[in-house]
Amino acid sequence: MKRARRARIVATLGPASRAPGMVKSLAQAGVDVFRLNFSHGSHEDHAAALKAVRGAEMALKRPLGVLADLQGPKLRLGRFQDVEIEVKPGHTMRFDLDPTPGDETRVQMPHPEIFRALRTGMLLLLDDGRVRLRVGERTDEWADVTVESGTKLSDRKGVAVPEAVIPVSALTPKDREDLAFALRIGVDWVALSFVQKAEDMAELKRLVDGRAACLAKIEKPQALHQLESILDYCDGVMVARGDLGVELDPEEVPVAQKQILRAARQRGVPAIVATQMLESMTSAPAPTRAEASDVANAAYEGADALMLSAETASGDYPLETVSVMNRIIERVERDPLWPGLMDAEHAGMDEHDVDALVAAARKAGEAQSTACIVVFTTLGGTARRMARERPLQPVLALTPNPSTARRLALVWGLESRLGREPSSLEEVTEDAVQAAMDNELAQPGQRVLILAGTPFGAPGAANLLRLAHAPAKKAKR
């Protein structure tokens, strides 16, 4: 089963979608990577969901990725005596460490690290930005605040401090337990929430130790200031527009999205655009026009993948939502203007011969007689480099490693498949042509462009570019 589009689809599994039959249907409808959201559900739920994905993978004979999304630190207010209080502009109150239920004059904020980071005049955002406050007098144990906008506050609402780096680890004790479990059941990707600095990702990479690919969720303004250093430790990145949109002004979010996508493209790091893409389809069978345009714009921008959250996890129309997203992306990629946008920007070549070879492969692939490009890859590096060039021909990534094939399911334009480790040039040519034909990417007599590395059987960068032709009659093994 191959895709008729390059941009990939990530769908979150939940109560509405984790049954094995639904998982298979979602994969058939277009899902390439399934997200397990560790903010919700039990370990047993996630283990069952992963088992369903592996079953769908076997049935469809197509690698499917599984992404474990860790919850990250949640900064929240304490509780109120009456559950909810009214606030209005000009209202003043105190936040402190006292666990006594609060009222209109004070309430607990059980995070001493926030008080240490606060400065007079700083902005505080509560309840996803619905309540905005300004910090007045403060100490390391309390802060007086004045309401700038808002109407009410209730128990356990989230706290955001967009103007400060909060000295908390991005990995909470819960995250560490969830991470150990996710690695034990064999997820392919791990996403870290609320990344603020490169050290957050470095810690995750150390704990994962190569057992999965590591992805940074960019949802804090502070992460944008350290984006390049964060990407040094990333195998992937997510534009998490929900929380990013809380702490940034609305007009800044599209700019940040383009900044992240461009930086990731330059690195050859797959990038996901997430949050509220087709949110109305959580309860409606069709999207709004604005949502359709949002999905289309992400595809026009060359995002590797687009993500669905509540739409598939708990919505009423998970299958319809995936089908709609699939159709929108396919339509964008049929637009005569789309190829020019993909070709408008190419990454600068590093000091590696493989970059020159990949650029040459992209150029050679532009010939109309070339049906597809076949890349032999062990760990996925050469395939990601090829995808970074955004070739318009289909790219088949052959690897002997199931984990590599599943990780590459997230990458733009790659049809990843399992294949043997070739031991000679003859086997490379034979396997490439046969796989291209088996996957209906090349017809008899068409040209296949092959990218591989020597010595055969040893991991390393590609150093071989070869042309071959599919035989007039389909070969038989």
From the list 6, 217, 241, 362, the catalytic residue is 217
For residue 267, indicate whether it is catalytic.
no
- pLDDT of 461 over the 90 cut: no
Please tell me which residue, 258 or 343, carries the higher pLDDT value.
258
- pLDDT of 173 over the 80 cut: yes
Single residue among 290, 308, 341 that ends a domain in this structure: 341
- pLDDT of 101 over the 90 cut: yes
Confidence of residue 349 (pLDDT cuts 50, 70, 90): low
Q: Which two tokens stand for residue 202?
A: 């470095």
For residue 138, indicate whether it is catalytic.
no
From the list 12, 275, 377, 429, the catalytic residue is 275
SS3 65: strand
pLDDT in tens, 256-281: 999 999 999 999 999 999 999 999 99
**424 and 314 fall within a common domain:** no
For residue 217, indicate whether it is catalytic.
yes
Q: How far apart are CA 392 and CA 346, in angstroms?
A: 13
pLDDT in tens, 202-213: 999 999 999 999
Q: How far apart are CA 323 and CA 320, in angstroms?
A: 5
For tokens 């590591």, name the residue. Answer: 214
Q: What is the pTM of this model?
A: 0.93
Q: How far apart are CA 371 and CA 227, in angstroms?
A: 37
CATH number of the domain at 175, please.
3.20.20.60
pLDDT in tens, 176-209: 999 999 999 999 999 999 999 999 999 999 999 9
**119 and 34 fall within a common domain:** no
Q: Which two tokens stand for residue 338?
A: 């789309």
From the list 76, 132, 197, 327, the catalytic residue is 76
Single residue among 139, 160, 181 that ends a domain in this structure: 160
What number is the average pLDDT over the span 162-168?
88
What phi, psi does 318 have (nearest 5°)?
-60, -45
pLDDT in tens, 415-426: 999 999 998 999
Q: How far apart are CA 315 and CA 137, in angstroms?
A: 45
Q: Please, what is the average pLDDT of the chain?
A: 94
**153 and 90 fall within a common domain:** yes
**381 and 404 fall within a common domain:** yes
Number of domains in the chain: 3
From the list 3, 6, 18, 35, the catalytic residue is 35
**302 and 188 fall within a common domain:** yes
State which residues form the domain around 312. 8-73+170-341
Confidence of residue 457 (pLDDT cuts 50, 70, 90): low
Beta bridge partners, 373, equal 395, 449
Residue 276 host element (H or E): none
| Angle between helix 20-29 and helix 318-333 axes, rounded to 10 deg | 20
The dihedral built from the CA positions of residue 93, 114, 208 and 398, taken in this order, carries a sign that is positive
Q: In the prediction, which pLDDT does 351 show?
A: 55
CATH number of the domain at 128, please.
2.40.33.10
- pLDDT of 352 over the 70 cut: no
Residue 264 inside a domain? The answer is yes
What are the Cα distances from residue 102, in Å, to 77, 82, 84, 189? 10, 8, 10, 41
pLDDT in tens, 209-258: 999 999 999 999 999 999 999 999 999 999 999 889 998 989 999 999 99
Closest residue by Cα to residue 405 from 25, 31, 64: 64
SS3 226: coil
Closest residue by Cα to residue 273 from 292, 297, 252, 249: 297
What number is the average pLDDT over the span 9-31?
98
**256 and 323 fall within a common domain:** yes
